[in-house]
Amino acid sequence: MRSNEYRVILLAAGSGSRMRDITNNKPKCLLPVGNMPLIWYPLSLLEREGFKEVNVITLDVQHAEVKKAVDKLGLKLDVKFHTIRESDDLGTADALKKVAICGEWKEDVIVMGCDFITDQSLDEMIKLHRTTGAGMSAFFFPSIPESTSVPGPKSKIRTDRDLVVLDKHNRLLMLTSAMDHDENMSVRMRIIKKLGRIDIKSRLTDGHFYILDNRVWNFIISEENSDMSLKGEVLPFIIKQQFSHLNKVVHKESKGELKRLSVDIDDEQETEETHKFFKHFTVDELQNLTDLYNGYNNHPDSSYGRYLDDRLRCFAIIAPSGSSFKVNTLASYCEVNRQVLLAENWERFAKSKPLVRVDPSCGSKTRKIESSLVGANTQIGEGVKIEKCSIGSSCIIEQNVTLSGCIIMDGVTIKEGTVLTDCLISDKANIGTNCNLKSCLVDAKFSVPSITESSSKILSGVLMSTE
Amino acid sequence: MEENPVQPLSKSKRKRLRKKLNKQGPKEDGGEAQADLEFVPAVQVEPPAEPCPCLKPQPDLEREEESPVKVKEPENTQEIPKTEQIKMDVTKGAEMSREDIKAARQAKKAAKKSKENKKPEQKEEKTIVPKEKAQEQAQPKPAVVKEPVQKAPVEKIEETGSTDKGKVQQKSSKELKEERRLKQEAQRAAKAQKAEQAKAPPVIEAKPSKSVKAVTENVNKPAKPMLTGLARTIATMARECARIDCNPDGVHPAFLQLEARMQSRLLEGSTARVVGLMRALRSVINDYKVPENVAITRDLVEHVEKQVAYLRGRRLMSVALDHAIKSLRLNTLAYDVSEQEAKVTVNAAIDAYINKIEQDMQSVALNLAHKVKDGALLAVYSYSCLIMNALKQLFKTGKRFRVVVVGSNTHNGGMTMLSQLSDLGVECTYLLINQVNFIMPRVQLVLLGAESMLANCSMVGPAGSAQIACVANSQGVPVYACCETSKFSYDSHQGSFFKQNELGINLLFLTFSPLFTHCKCAEPEFLAPQLKNMPYMSQCSLRCDVVPERFISAIITEVTILPCSSVPDVLHSPSSDTVLKSRTT
């Protein structure tokens, strides 16, 4: 139903550079969250919102694996894969250009990351985009608290924070990374003058969910756009263009004397890029006329018209706390796994799919399993205690093992008598008898020798440093 | 013209009329104001006033309903709560859609049946079923409308007081909601059943009523008062506005956007909406591809009609929009026209209509110039691009005047007007509608921008217009409605305007979720938390207002300045726009 209105591009070629420890053997988009691959969440969201077609961008080396996993999900979506070469090391904007080669789109475009989990309705976001007539809408949600416990060494990894500047109507005025500003962040006086009041938020996470107007999309894929990264360069550029004097609505009668030009031109360097950008914004006479006659004004207290007479407007959609996750760090990965275990949260994020706590193929021996998920074909021995864990498929858990707060991926073997607390065990790892691990991260295919006692460590065959 | 209203206005006659009006203008205004000062708000229903001569050609049926129209006028309703009750009943009658009536009938049948099968165990259910029946019976029948004063209070006692009044009082809002929902379901089920049974007529009588009975029994188990009167009407409206069954399949994105902007009140004013519609239509036409083996004429009309039906389903269509679509004359496209030619033709028609809008606005400005004297103090309410444009033109031609901009909390149009006028350099005063009484004696002229003129000569304007007009009238200030003839409507909404009205946004009553500031405001969960706990409260915020004929001194149209009573003449005049004429056939 939406296919005539929006095209969707799902970015699944991310390497997961912020969570190397668990993504060096597995594509990020296939990491299990609540025993479903990560990519299932955005895909199922799109499916239940009535989308029919999705374009997924993957790396060529992971393509087969991802395709197999997606096919297995049994979604009704028509998933089209586009591959990019890993060796090219393309930015997101470049990757989008690759997709655009396949044909010209007249529709607006939704670009989302494969690591985006939300319980918000796309319908409402789209409606907001529509009503505001935004050139670009970006989705934000409150960041997860920094105190979230993470398996592995307690190194203070500074998370990359975004600085989001908004006005009272949630119009997006600036979007930069806090890393780019050592001490000072400067905001143009003109913005403040125009709006009177702006809010700078540092605790919002960018969901990497963007609704792009067709004109903006055409700019991004055009030759004129030389930037590589969508988030880092292209979007800040577009957001900045809102304050270009070329962005003004020019009404028929005032064509000769550009309205309030003198105010805007003083510090505006007319860069070539700005001109190139606004080439894609052809004058829409009827839209201007509609705006001219419209009685609605969201800035009634200023001398400007609605939306400050701007043609290009960017808006932020801000979701309530806890409603969305961006799984791009180890902390958020662990947090989302913890959240999904609660039945009510599962219902929020996975809506259509019923929660199967323990797969029926696991047998029914005496054991104690509380608020956990256990995948198919996992063997669980006698006297096993499992609490708040998610356990993948084809694992072997022997007698008298105690697990609490763990994330255990597929094919893991845990020998008898072992106690694991808040650990993350990657695929096909092997843990010996009577181990006691706390907040540890066990690498894929690594065998932990028997009677190991350890806490807050990365157990792996290779010496690795967290990037 | 007034002597012989049935005959259409010729051009020369119109000219004469204009001269006459110009001469008599002030005198006439004074006279009318005098007449209105004599009007004392009273409890009793006024006898139907002598129908204005131009209403004569209308069928008798409508005259019967004239008394409720009188009751509805703001002076009465403000002062006496009793009349409020009447109004509610009137609205009930008007608001009942055909489905509702059908459902009510079936409910009646169900009730009858339950009476017949009287069994002692069913006591509780039985006491309630007739209650619902009584209420529903009352609604669709015009009999109630005829003698509202006597009937209304009695009926109210019947509704709440029969057996379990105490119980009724204790109901929580949650239960209420639940019941409302169940009731809707019952109606829906009844409707579905009926549709199902439509093929086999003989079965209809027995089966549907049975099913309805089953459902109504469920409904009535908790035994609660039904939503009545105004609250019920508003609930119906909110439901219709937020209807999700309105299928967006195949609707062009431009129309989806238009609908979203209109629904969330980001596109205000009928002219702006018309232009917005034209813009959306242009994208529809430009993206249109004629299917194989289909005549373009028919398919294009169907395609556009589908888009428009979407707006209509959300009750967002108005006269001006209807006219705009008719003006494109899609059905007059030649049968063998090519796709390209058709697009060019329709685009040209769109341009022509936009031009016409602009010209009309200029003509209104010229006509208004006769009425605004140098140094005058004008009052305007909310935003009207027609008035804004006219004042701009006046100011540019060197006329000097001052403006009192009246705003309200629910429309921010007043602020828009204010900022645009003061940008021009016009001396302005801004005040809210509740203070309008104090400024009125100094004002020489009140200008109201009309969304539409109805065939019964009343004006539709932004909510609050009637109040301004009433105050102005009581103080002898002439009120001019500005309206193009393309907004003249054949409808004459006797009784109430609820059927056509749109829900507005009442900012006081809403909580703002940070994510969706403008969406969904009609839905109850967006009520402020303190209001959720008031089961007997239903919020009402309407977008439009009807100003009765006698408050308006004249209508300033692009053709001439007309007395209000001429609206039907313009509508029936052969010389008036052919677009208008095409509506009659």
> Angle between the A92-100 and A214-221 helix axes, to the nearest 10 degrees?
100
pLDDT at B204: 35
Is the CB of residue B548 less than 8 Å from the CB of residue B77?
A: no
Q: How far apart are CA B279 and CA A414, in angstroms?
A: 66
- Closest Cα of chain B to A153: distance in Å? 37
Among A393, A353, A385, A346, residue whose Cα is nearest residue A367: A385
Q: Give the E-state strand segments of B495-573 in sequence order.
A: 544-547, 554-556, 561-562
Which two three-digit tokens encode residue A441?
A: 């991260």
Nearest CA in chain B to A170: B514
Which two three-digit tokens encode residue B417?
A: 């007007």
Taken in order B8, B12, B16, B19, is the CA torsion positive or negative?
positive
3-class state of residue B520 by DSSP:
coil
Q: Do B257 and A301 touch (CB under 8 A)?
A: no
Residues of B in contact with A286 (CB under 8 A): 275-276, 278-279, 282, 354
pLDDT at B112: 62
pLDDT at B1: 40
Give per-residue pLDDT as tens, A34-78.
888 999 999 999 988 888 889 999 988 889 999 999 998 888 888
Q: Do A317 and B515 touch (CB under 8 A)?
A: yes
Work out whether strand B554-556 and strand B479-482 pair parallel, antiparallel, or are unpaired.
Answer: parallel
pLDDT at A128: 83
**Tens of pLDDT along chain B (585 residues)?**
434 444 444 555 555 555 554 544 343 343 333 333 333 333 333 344 444 333 334 343 333 333 333 433 344 433 444 444 444 444 444 444 555 556 666 766 666 665 555 444 444 444 344 444 444 444 444 433 343 334 434 344 344 333 444 444 455 566 666 767 777 776 766 665 555 444 433 333 333 333 434 444 444 444 445 666 666 766 666 666 665 555 667 788 889 889 888 877 788 888 999 999 999 999 999 888 888 888 787 888 888 888 888 888 777 778 888 888 888 888 777 777 888 888 898 999 999 999 999 999 999 999 999 889 999 999 999 899 999 999 999 999 999 999 999 988 777 788 888 888 988 899 999 999 988 999 999 999 999 999 888 888 888 888 889 999 999 999 999 999 999 988 888 876 655 555 566 666 554 444 343 333 433 344 444 555 555 566 666 666 677 888 989 999 999 999 889 898 888 888 887 654 544 444 433
Residues of B in contact with A127 (CB under 8 A): 260, 516, 519
B283 Cβ under 8 Å from any chain A Cβ: no
Q: Do B519 and A128 touch (CB under 8 A)?
A: yes
Among B452, B446, B377, B462, residue whose Cα is nearest residue B412: B462
- DSSP for A354-394, please give it: PP-SB-GGG---SEEEES-EE-TT-EE-TTEEEES-EE-SS
Nearest CA in chain B to A106: B287
Which two three-digit tokens encode residue B483?
A: 């309206």
Q: How far apart are CA B193 and CA B191, in angstroms?
A: 5
| Surface-to-core class of residue B207, CB atoms within 10 Å of its CB (0-12 exposed, 13-18 middle, 19+ buried) | middle
Lowest mean per-residue pLDDT among A86-90, A93-97, B313-317: B313-317
Q: How far apart are CA B182 and CA B177, in angstroms?
A: 9
Q: How far apart are CA B576 and CA A260, in angstroms?
A: 42
Which residues on neighbouring strands pair with residue B452, listed in sequence order? Answer: B460
Residue A282 has pLDDT above 90, yes or no: no
Q: How far apart are CA B30 and CA B335, in angstroms?
A: 57
Q: Do A130 and B278 touch (CB under 8 A)?
A: no
Which two three-digit tokens encode residue A384?
A: 């096993």
Is the CB of residue A33 less than 8 Å from the CB of residue A41?
A: yes
B512 Cβ under 8 Å from any chain A Cβ: no
Give the list of residues 6+ apart from residue A44 with CB closer than 8 angstroms, or none: A73, A75, A350, A351, A352, A353
Give the list of residues 6+ apart from residue A365 with CB closer than 8 angstroms, or none: A380, A381, A382
| Surface-to-core class of residue A362, CB atoms within 10 Å of its CB (0-12 exposed, 13-18 middle, 19+ buried) | buried
Q: Do B515 and A284 touch (CB under 8 A)?
A: no
Nearest CA in chain B to A315: B515
In which residue are the tokens 């005025």 written? A173
Least CB-CB distance to A130: which of B257, B354, B514?
A: B257
Which two three-digit tokens encode residue B278?
A: 């034209």
Residues of A in contact with B279 (CB under 8 A): 284, 286-287, 290
Q: Which amino acid is present at B257? A: Q
Which residues on neighbouring strands pair with residue A373, listed in sequence order? Answer: A390
Which two three-digit tokens encode residue A32?
A: 């299990």
Give which of B516, B526, B543, B544 to mutate to test A binding, by max A Cβ within 10 Å.
B516
Nearest CA in chain A to B244: A123
Q: How far apart are CA A285 and CA A329, in angstroms?
A: 47
Q: Do B513 and A295 touch (CB under 8 A)?
A: no
Mean pLDDT value of segment A388-414: 90
Q: How far apart are CA A109 and CA A214, in angstroms?
A: 7
| Total number of residues shown for chain B | 585
Q: Where are the alpha helices (DSSP H) in B481-555?
A: 529-532
Q: Do A284 and B267 touch (CB under 8 A)?
A: no
Which of A14-23, A452-461, B296-305, B480-489 is predicted most confidently?
Answer: B480-489
**Which one is predicted more confidently, A167 or B468?**
B468
pLDDT at A292: 83
Q: Indicate the pTM of the whole model.
A: 0.72
Nearest CA in chain A to B520: A124
Mean pLDDT value of segment A373-386: 86
Q: Which amino acid is present at B553? A: S
Mean pLDDT value of segment A397-425: 90
Q: How far apart are CA A303 and CA A299, in angstroms?
A: 8
- DSSP for A294-308, please give it: ----S-TTSSS-GGG
Question: Helix, strand, coil shares of chain A as percentages rounded to 5?
Answer: 30, 25, 45
Q: ipTM for the complex?
A: 0.83
Among B320, B295, B197, B265, residue whose Cα is nearest residue B506: B265
Furthest-apart CA pair in chain B: how many Å? 84
Give per-residue pLDDT as tens, A109-142.
999 999 999 988 888 888 888 888 889 999 999 9
- DSSP for B53-117, please give it: GGGTTS-HHHHHTHHHHHHTSHHHHHH-HHHHHHHHHHHHHHH--HHHHHHHHHHHHHHHHHHHT
Give the list of residues 6+ apart from residue A257 with CB closer than 8 angstroms, or none: none
